[in-house]
């Protein structure tokens, strides 16, 4: 365990659902909150008393592909620390086999060690900037998948951000302005939705603890909906400037039925400079 102040996944603050439970107490400057919850999710199979049957087979689209649409929340990884641990800065190592090593090059290892020594303090999200890919799916705040013909959207509760994944057959652009979430195209490989993303800037972090990347980052995500209530994603990181070889991680998600995202803005943040650990 690295000593220092333990930051949580959103930066210096918990997700919007935490705030909602605090009866209006806002721990961060100028938070904007709203909600639309306890409304039955259309199309879910249900018991006689109206409860969703989460173990039912995965729904299909009109095209016969698994429908990934829904509000999702990631589950703890097999290597996540104990609940009473002080480490709250989420790490991709949680979603790798125990004792697995991230193949960092020396330059990347130096960057990571400096960030990790601060328990991830100073991450972009502390300045209301995006988490990036795959980091935006790792905080304990939900995201929504909206699957349509030709385009799949990922809507993040954190900072009201989004990603576009084009499935209309287009290739990656020939010229790409480096972006926080990159440029994503998707295709189906059997029942797996494969997302190929390039064109990143080098400012975002791969996770909350500080794994770095360069503009050569190439992320492949392979989504599979196991049943109504479960989805999994295998991700591959390929960045030859920062890592000696491609490496993978595995994240599982649970469906949040009969609820929706909460509007969660990060504005006028002024706490980070005072809370960064030593």
Instruction: Write down the pTM of the prediction.
Output: 0.84
3-state secondary structure of 26: coil
Instruction: Write the pLDDT tens digit of every residue in 34-70.
Output: 356 778 999 999 999 999 999 999 999 999 999 999 9
User: Residue range 66-90: average pLDDT?
Assistant: 82
User: Residue range 8-24: average pLDDT?
Assistant: 37
The pLDDT assigned to 167 comes to: 98
Burial 176-203 (b: 16+ CB within 10 A, else e): eeebbbbbbbbeeeeebbbbbbbbbbee
Angle at 130 between CA 196 and CA 156, to 5 degrees: 70
pLDDT interval class at 16 (50, 70, 90): very low
Q: Which residues pair with 34 in a beta bridge?
A: none
Q: What percent of the chain has pLDDT over 70?
A: 81
User: Domain residue spans in the chain?
Assistant: 16-275
Q: Which fold has domain 16-275?
A: Lipocalin (2.40.128)
Half-sphere exposure of 20 (CA within 13 A, CB side): 13
pLDDT above 90: residue 208: yes
Instruction: Write the pLDDT tens digit of every residue in 138-191.
Output: 998 999 999 999 999 999 998 889 999 999 999 999 999 999 999 999 999 999
The rounded mean pLDDT for the chain is 85
The pLDDT assigned to 34 comes to: 39
């Amino acid at each position: 365990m690295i000593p220092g102040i333990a930051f949580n996944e959103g930066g210096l603050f918990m997700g919007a659902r935490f705030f909602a439970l605090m009866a209006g107490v806002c721990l961060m400057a100028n938070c904007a909150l709203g909600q639309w919850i306890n409304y039955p999710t259309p199309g879910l199979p249900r018991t006689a008393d109206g409860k969703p049957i989460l173990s039912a087979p995965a729904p299909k689209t009109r095209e016969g592909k698994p429908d990934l649409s829904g509000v999702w929340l990631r589950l703890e990884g097999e290597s996540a620390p104990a609940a009473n641990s002080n480490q709250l800065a989420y790490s991709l190592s949680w979603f790798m086999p125990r004792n697995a090593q991230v193949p960092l090059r020396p330059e990347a290892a130096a960057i990571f060690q400096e960030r990790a020594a601060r328990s991830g303090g100073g991450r972009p999200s502390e300045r209301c900037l995006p988490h990036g890919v795959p980091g935006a799916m790792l905080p304990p705040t939900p995201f929504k998948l909206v699957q349509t013909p030709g385009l799949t959207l990922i809507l993040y509760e954190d900072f009201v951000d989004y990603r576009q994944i084009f499935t209309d057959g287009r290739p990656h652009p020939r010229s790409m302005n480096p972006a926080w979430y990159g440029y994503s195209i998707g295709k189906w490989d059997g029942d797996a939705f494969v997302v190929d993303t390039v064109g990143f800037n080098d400012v975002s972090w791969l996770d909350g603890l500080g794994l770095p990347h360069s503009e050569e980052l190439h992320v492949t995500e392979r989504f599979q909906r196991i049943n109504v209530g479960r989805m999994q994603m295998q991700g591959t990181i390929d960045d030859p400037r920062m890592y000696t070889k491609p490496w993978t991680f595995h994240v599982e998600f649970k469906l949040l039925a009969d609820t929706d995202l909460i509007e969660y803005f990060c504005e006028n943040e002024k706490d980070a400079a005072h809370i960064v650990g030593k």
